[in-house]
Amino acid sequence: MACNGTSVATFEYLLPNGTHASDFGLVTPAAPLRISLAIVMMLMIVVGFLGNAVVCVIVYQRPAMRSAINLLLATLAFSDIMLSLCCMPFTAVSLITVHWHFGDYFCRLSAMLYWFFVLEGVAILLIISVDRFLIIVQRQDKLNPRRAKVIIATSWALSFCVSAPSLAGWTFVEVPARAPQCVLGYSEFLANRAYVVTLVVAVFFVPFSVMLCSYLCILHTVRKNAIRVHSQCDSLDLGHLTRAGLRRLQRQQQVSMDLSFKTKAFTTILILFVGFSLCWLPHTVYSLLSVFSRRFYCSSSFYTTSSCVLWLSYLKSVFNPIVYCWRIKKFREACIELLPQTFQIPPKVPERIRRRIQPSTVYVCNENQSAV
């Protein structure tokens, strides 16, 4: 076994039936903490599934919503749904029981699916960031729905190719004994280490670097445009406007409104990027240490560390719909529309609408009033 001095190039199975992680000298989290993490994870599954399903339903049911950016967001939502359904429930069960009940083959399959859906979600975030960069900085809106579909299909294929070695047995993946789900374990073989480096570079370092550069350029451009628009508006003499000056003012107002819209959309994507960074930076460091550091991987606290880091990585699938609900009005309206009628709160009807619905309650003529 890897922690007993033997390097392994293929799958190593450390958890025979009926054996618990404590039998290997591991310190597992206290039962209340494990149960709390599992319960919260089950709530995350429900919220992540329902919230991301709303995004997919909106794009599917409304042809007007099938723009390139919305197709990308729907794909991101679908990858989060699959991650929630295919991986999180089994991790929650393992957290409670400290035992893997689902067999060796499904362990490898779950590891592949985990990286597959994570890679796809990160790829979509990267594509959206580059698209925002081209629109705002380069002023090139080249992404149409047809191209978006081709890019989405390509991203799925590349994500599968990168994650497939975990299922094929070409990398060292352990049946959970040192973690609540299959993880990339310690190995001294160069091929295994090279694969892990490739994986974390594809999942975190390259997307993080590209997105960070894109957002810094976007922020600089937005700030520069805002200063230019405000300075041009301030230079206009509103008391002596000619017809040409009025047209110029209208153009400046249109540019200002367009800038405000783009800034709001960009802010939403920026929040998604921040959430991705906070959720995945610990997991990236954890993955590298697991494969390269024997001391870290064989430590008694590895199970506890794995539980917390994996729980945080799953939090990203719930984070996105919460941001949509906070930032996007159409998403909130769609959530209300999809609720059953018994759970919907009747909206407050404006006064002018109530007049049209019940005119007799408003237009009542007294003897001292004249009917118009």
> Is the residue at 44 inside a domain?
yes
> Is the residue at 226 inside a domain?
yes
Q: Which of 72-81, 183-192, 348-357 has the lowest mean pLDDT?
A: 348-357
pTM, two decimals, is: 0.78
> What pLDDT is recorded for position 150?
95
Alpha-carbon gap, residue 21 to 306, rounded angstroms: 13
Within the chain, residue ranges assigned H as helices are: 31-61, 68-86, 88-97, 104-136, 145-168, 190-200, 206-234, 243-292, 294-297, 302-327, 329-338, 351-357
Residues 144-173, mean pLDDT to the nearest whole number: 86
> Is the residue at 372 inside a domain?
no
Res 322 pLDDT > 80: yes
Please give the structure tokens belonging to residue 242. Answer: 């000619």
> Is the residue at 88 inside a domain?
yes
The band of 174, judged by pLDDT with boundaries at 50, 70 and 90, is: low
Please name which of 371, 133, 372 lies closest in space to residue 262, comparing C-alpha atoms.
133
Residues 305-314, mean pLDDT to the nearest whole number: 88
Q: Which of 67-76, 167-176, 199-208, 357-366 has the lowest mean pLDDT?
A: 357-366
> Is the residue at 156 inside a domain?
yes
Q: Residues near 131 by Cβ (< 8 Å), separated by ≥ 6? A: 68, 69, 72, 143
Q: What is the span of the domain harbouring residue 247?
A: 2-361
> What pLDDT is recorded for position 366?
40
The angle formed by the CA atoms of residues 280, 295 and 101, to the nearest 5 degrees, is: 65
Res 233 pLDDT > 70: no
Alpha-carbon gap, residue 165 to 119, rounded angstroms: 14
DSSP per-residue codes, 182-213: -EE-----HHHHHHHHHHHIIIIIHHHHHHHH
Res 346 pLDDT > 80: no
Q: Which residue has the higher pLDDT, 82 or 18?
A: 82
Residues 328-356, mean pLDDT to the nearest whole number: 63
> Is the residue at 113 inside a domain?
yes
> What pLDDT is recorded for position 7?
42
Give the other-Cβ count within 10 Å of 131's Cβ: 21
Beta bridge partners of 173: 184
The band of 13, judged by pLDDT with boundaries at 50, 70 and 90, is: very low
pLDDT, tens only, 79-96 = 999 999 998 998 888 888
Q: Which residue has the higher pLDDT, 40 or 365?
A: 40
Residues 46-55, mean pLDDT to the nearest whole number: 90
> Is the residue at 158 inside a domain?
yes
Res 341 pLDDT > 90: no
Res 246 pLDDT > 60: no
Q: How far is CA 257 from the centre of its chain?
A: 28
Alpha-carbon gap, residue 55 to 334, rounded angstroms: 9
| CATH number where 281 lies | 1.20.1070.10
> Is the residue at 248 inside a domain?
yes
Q: Which of 140-154, 159-173, 204-218 has the lowest mean pLDDT?
A: 159-173
Query: For the chain, how many structural domains are there in total?
Result: 1
